A and B are shown apart, each in its own frame.
Chain A
């Protein structure tokens, strides 16, 4: 008896994104699977999970695309259907494991809500009314527009070939560079924003500026760790998560967890100390004071490697950053700070865990600098059990023949930023300057791929206004996200299990090269990103060249000198020339050139290659593998060139403290009756991209609002009660979770929920979107988003 109620059958009765036209019976959210399929339709599983068989199967090496880690696995393919994803034991970074999201990747590929064919908008922006079209019609709509929106040709003509009228965004992923090549290098837009300025920009920047590396950690030999606001049991990072928790709980690695919330990481720690949000810097400065005051540091090491070391010591001591000073600011008791500083410096291989996480406070850059210097004070850098610089494994850089557009203007999103980053800028500053009319030239086009700013960039109302302001929005993605609802043209991409991606190298302690191979052909009418780039480039090249010819004096000059055909070909105007070879072939060419034929064979078969792999790699027991023997790992690579930049004078030239310094404006305070909103991740979800995954929703049905149990009792709020959460920029509703795991004046919700897109059957209206209520504050160094500065009101509704 078959009584499984497939959610796919439910779909017929739900409010869905409207698709007009196209082939009868194949709406965007067609019930599809298993029954009544037309011949030639894609191979789809008959039920949500498929019991693996004992017969013939292929095992295709892939790299996971569910989050940023790129863990390696093998996809089991039976009769054209992916039935199971298994870990790949050859990749040192992911250590033969797949997390719950990695295992649930099948549900993303076979998500019935997938974008299945190209579409163009026929309703209002955000309304979700689209028409199914062919790829050629979609490309044509991008170039020439429709009666609902203008095309790129008209817009560029009106802007006299100022390519900077085009902006673009892309979230993290292996095909991101190709999109940057297409819109940045080939179409000539400098206005790029990506996930960096809403993620870990200051962490990377602070560590690089101080130590020259955002390090890996050798947990195997570490014996003491302070983990500061990073939640490695829930926000899984490989190999950190796997390595650290095998050694905690009295098994070699003593761990102190500093976090406002009691997380799953706190549950694995020896000690949990809740810190006031945004005050970790005061805590680290006080630890540093204890070290200098008691002369616990590795003085010889710092004298050798430190830059501005003596000044930093004087700076810390003269500011009297004592534990007694820090206690009322950060909420951690002075005696605990003394104890930790001493334990840290007495440990053989202590670690203050560098990352990774979003930017929570405006002082995050200085926090990272202070942490990096604190680590250096122990001398535990570039050695066993310490911060690892390691060895990069190199692949040759890609050359793209980029045209130079004389009419293109430089990017402008620099307001309030000391060090504007040229490549990916600041999401918030860029968006807000356009909204406030501070852009020196019109920004009219947004090319978007695999990015959901409606749910990832703080202050959703402003992102909506920004998208509405554009004349043309193009989205390449796999699911109809909230942001896709604002697109004029949607191009459906193959999911990570349906595509071969550009080969990638990972360095550090045990370097390796990895390749994701397509496990199955792209489903429906989806295409691999590189094919989309190529076809779109082919479509746009000649017509846009005509516009450049009209306005670009340099180009006119060159044509006079060398002839049109030559200039078009040689100067990069032939936009599609960056994708002449299919990805798999190109990977082969690159790898064979650098590492030889045998290396390519190994990589293509196992998904992983590194020099001496066949000699080094072996299974030690049913759970553990050796990737490199210890004697061959890159523990120490820096030698005398290692520098610890304690005082960084360049910062001061732009109004940023040259040495980490506390300012009282960063003190934590919440008005009576309000709560500080903090946000974060969970092992079962990445971001908004995974909340429509049926398997993961099985594990966490929705996001809840954490509120202190005693406070909730007073307010009459019980578990599951609907509450309204209001900030100065927005209001959301979700269910309450009273708990003692959070302070009375703080509140928490998981990021990524509360989708507004009706195209997402499971994510639509489920929980709350934190970006709606988080204020769009930035930190001063890069203009990156600060996530934990918003106070909210909570009431039961």
Chain B
């Protein structure tokens, strides 16, 4: 029993996409730009050459926010989407009927359809691969060149993520929606 979350030191991100590849290789995610559990959002700089605004050219790594009040879970008619014992938002593909309510409800666009099972798929925090083997990091965290991510148990006051969140300012995406995301962006 844990309450897993992730802190992202997003200013480290160089948009190299090592995390995306590691995720696909670890979890056997299908190829295709529209088939991904995690991604790096990027903006082109605003302005006109040579006066470009550097601050507007940002990279924001993202994925399922593993909300504590997950809209995807609320709308699922078959309880295919559920919180597992560690607070990770999961999908039971046996129960999924591809009604796609969850995909529409998710404010973070974190879900896609796996064409093999024809069900909805999303980030699992590597629960059924790495964590199931006793590893303590996700594939995306482990491989990151600039070490953007820190995964861990929010209920453990000694965990690295708990210490980071205590000592660093941070924000959540679309916090006003009240979804209580468990991804925290460090500033």
Q: Does A341 contact B (CB under 8 A)?
A: no
Q: Mark B1-33, 1 if CB is under 8 A from A, else 0.
A: 000000001011011111011101111111111
* CB nearest to A261 among chain B residues: B49
By the criterion CB–CB under 8 Å, are B57 and A262 in contact? yes
By the criterion CB–CB under 8 Å, are A99 and B49 in contact? no
Bound-state Cα–Cα, A695 to B146, Å: 21
Q: Does B175 contact A (CB under 8 A)?
A: no
* CB nearest to B48 among chain A residues: A740
Q: Does B68 contact A (CB under 8 A)?
A: no
Bound-state Cα–Cα, A48 to B20, Å: 15
Please judge, given known A-B contacts A49-B28, A98-B22, A106-B25, whether A246 and B49 are in contact too, CB under 8 Å. no
CB distance from B18 to the nearest CB of A (A): 5
Q: Does B78 contact A (CB under 8 A)?
A: no
Contact residues in B for A743 (Cβ distance below 8 Å)? 49-50
Contact residues in A for B128 (Cβ distance below 8 Å)? 54
By the criterion CB–CB under 8 Å, are B21 and A245 in contact? no
By the criterion CB–CB under 8 Å, are A741 and B16 in contact? no
Which of the 9-residue segments B83-91, B101-109, B135-143, B177-185 touches chain A? Answer: B135-143
By the criterion CB–CB under 8 Å, are B133 and A54 in contact? yes
**Which A1-23 residues have C-beta < 8 A from chain B?**
1-4, 7
Bound-state Cα–Cα, A248 to B58, Å: 13
Q: Mark A665-709, 1 if CB is under 8 A from B, else 0.
A: 000000000000000000110000000001110110100000010
CB distance from B14 to the nearest CB of A (A): 4
By the criterion CB–CB under 8 Å, are B145 and A51 in contact? no
Q: Does A84 contact B (CB under 8 A)?
A: yes
Please judge, given known A-B contacts A695-B31, A740-B47, A742-B49, whether A100 and B146 are in contact too, CB under 8 Å. no
By the criterion CB–CB under 8 Å, are B30 and A622 in contact? no
Contact residues in B for A708 (Cβ distance below 8 Å)? 49
CB distance from A238 to the nearest CB of B (A): 8
* CB nearest to A53 among chain B residues: B129
* CB nearest to A55 among chain B residues: B133
By the criterion CB–CB under 8 Å, are B145 and A97 in contact? yes
* CB nearest to B151 among chain A residues: A622
By the criterion CB–CB under 8 Å, are A699 and B142 in contact? no
* CB nearest to A73 among chain B residues: B143
A-B contact pairs, 21 of them (CB 8 A): A1-B116, A48-B30, A49-B29, A51-B27, A51-B28, A51-B129, A52-B133, A233-B14, A236-B145, A241-B145, A246-B146, A265-B14, A266-B57, A267-B54, A269-B54, A623-B141, A683-B14, A684-B16, A708-B49, A740-B44, A740-B48
CB distance from B57 to the nearest CB of A (A): 4
Q: Does A249 contact B (CB under 8 A)?
A: yes
By the criterion CB–CB under 8 Å, are B28 and A86 in contact? no
Q: Does A85 contact B (CB under 8 A)?
A: yes
Contact residues in A for B32 (Cβ distance below 8 Å)? 698
Q: Mark A231-243, 1 if CB is under 8 A from B, else 0.
A: 0011010100110
By the criterion CB–CB under 8 Å, are B116 and A246 in contact? no
Q: Does A146 contact B (CB under 8 A)?
A: no
Q: Does B167 contact A (CB under 8 A)?
A: no
Q: Does B152 contact A (CB under 8 A)?
A: yes
Q: Does A47 contact B (CB under 8 A)?
A: yes
Contact residues in A for B150 (Cβ distance below 8 Å)? 621-623
Contact residues in A for B45 (Cβ distance below 8 Å)? 262, 267, 740-741
Contact residues in A for B49 (Cβ distance below 8 Å)? 262, 274, 708, 740-744
Q: Which residues of A contact B (CB under 8 A)?
A: 1-4, 7, 47-54, 83-87, 95-100, 102-104, 106, 233-234, 236, 238, 241-242, 245-246, 248-249, 251, 262, 264-274, 621-624, 683-684, 694-696, 698-699, 701, 708, 710, 739-744
Q: Mark B150-167, 1 if CB is under 8 A from A, else 0.
A: 111000000010000000
Interface centre among A96, A98, A265, A273 (most CB of B within 10 A): A98
Contact residues in B for A1 (Cβ distance below 8 Å)? 116-118
* CB nearest to B144 among chain A residues: A97
**Sample of 4 more A-B contacts, CB < 8 Å, known A3-B118, A96-B142, A100-B16:** A53-B129, A97-B144, A241-B14, A622-B141
Bound-state Cα–Cα, A48 to B160, Å: 35
By the criterion CB–CB under 8 Å, are A694 and B31 in contact? yes
Instruction: Give the residue of B28, B54, B145 whose beta carbon is less than 8 angstroms from that of A47.
Output: B28
By the criterion CB–CB under 8 Å, are B147 and A246 in contact? yes
Bound-state Cα–Cα, A709 to B130, Å: 45
Bound-state Cα–Cα, A400 to B144, Å: 41
Contact residues in B for A246 (Cβ distance below 8 Å)? 9, 12, 146-147
Q: Which 5 pairs across A and B sit closest by C-beta, in order of nearness?
A: A51-B28, A103-B21, A683-B16, A233-B14, A267-B57
CB distance from B45 to the nearest CB of A (A): 6
By the criterion CB–CB under 8 Å, are B48 and A710 in contact? yes
CB distance from B154 to the nearest CB of A (A): 14
What is the total of A-B residue contacts with beta carbons within 8 Å?
A: 178
Interface centre among B49, B139, B141 (most CB of A within 10 A): B49
Contact residues in B for A95 (Cβ distance below 8 Å)? 145
By the criterion CB–CB under 8 Å, are A699 and B129 in contact? no
Q: Does B82 contact A (CB under 8 A)?
A: no
Bound-state Cα–Cα, A2 to B141, Å: 30
Bound-state Cα–Cα, A238 to B136, Å: 25
Interface centre among A83, A87, A103 (most CB of B within 10 A): A103
Bound-state Cα–Cα, A695 to B54, Å: 30
* CB nearest to B114 among chain A residues: A4
Bound-state Cα–Cα, A47 to B27, Å: 12
Contact residues in A for B169 (Cβ distance below 8 Å)? none
* CB nearest to B132 among chain A residues: A54
Q: Does B97 contact A (CB under 8 A)?
A: no
Bound-state Cα–Cα, A273 to B54, Å: 11
Q: Does B52 contact A (CB under 8 A)?
A: yes
Contact residues in B for A268 (Cβ distance below 8 Å)? 14
By the criterion CB–CB under 8 Å, are A100 and B31 in contact? no
Contact residues in B for A273 (Cβ distance below 8 Å)? 50
By the criterion CB–CB under 8 Å, are A272 and B52 in contact? yes
Contact residues in A for B160 (Cβ distance below 8 Å)? 621-623
Q: Does B59 contact A (CB under 8 A)?
A: yes
Contact residues in A for B59 (Cβ distance below 8 Å)? 264, 267
Q: Does B115 contact A (CB under 8 A)?
A: yes
Interface centre among A1, A86, A242, A742 (most CB of B within 10 A): A86
Please judge, given known A-B contacts A52-B26, A267-B45, whether A86 and B147 are in contact too, CB under 8 Å. no
Bound-state Cα–Cα, A684 to B16, Å: 7
CB distance from B126 to the nearest CB of A (A): 9
By the criterion CB–CB under 8 Å, are A100 and B129 in contact? no
By the criterion CB–CB under 8 Å, are A103 and B117 in contact? no
By the criterion CB–CB under 8 Å, are A267 and B141 in contact? no
* CB nearest to B10 among chain A residues: A249
* CB nearest to A701 among chain B residues: B33
Bound-state Cα–Cα, A624 to B141, Å: 11
Contact residues in B for A49 (Cβ distance below 8 Å)? 24-25, 27-31
Bound-state Cα–Cα, A270 to B55, Å: 9
CB distance from A218 to the nearest CB of B (A): 17
Bound-state Cα–Cα, A744 to B49, Å: 8
CB distance from B131 to the nearest CB of A (A): 10
By the criterion CB–CB under 8 Å, are A695 and B25 in contact? yes
Contact residues in A for B26 (Cβ distance below 8 Å)? 51-52, 84
